[in-house]
Structure 1
Amino acid sequence: MNFTFYGHSCFSVEIKGTKLLFDPFITPNELANKVVNADTVEADYILVSHGHADHTADLVSIAKRTGAKVVCNYEIYEWLGKQGVTNVHPMNTGGKWNFGDFAVKMVVAQHSSGLPDGSYGGNPVGFIVTSEAGNFYYSGDTALTLDMQLVPTWAELNFAVLPIGSNFTMDVEDAVRCAAMIKCQQIIGVHYDTFGYIKIDQAAAKKAFADTSCVLHLPKIGETVDMKNQKGFTR
Structure 2
Amino acid sequence: MRFRTAAVAAAALAVLALPTPAHAEPGDSITLPVSQALANLSISEEDRTGYERDAFKHWIDADKDGCSTRNEVLLDEAVEAPDRTGRCTLTGGTWYSPYDDRTIEGPRGLDIDHRVPLAESWDSGASAWSAAEREAYANDLGDHRSLIAVSASSNRSKADQDPSTWMPPAEANWCEYARDWVVVKTRWGLSIDASEEAALSESLSRCPDEEITVTLAR
TM-score (norm 2): 0.28
* Structure whose residues are more often strand by fraction: 1
Q: Compare CA radii of gyration and give the structure with the larger one.
A: 2
Which structure has more relative contact order (CA 8 Å, sep 6+)? It is 2
Q: Which has the larger share of helix? A: 2
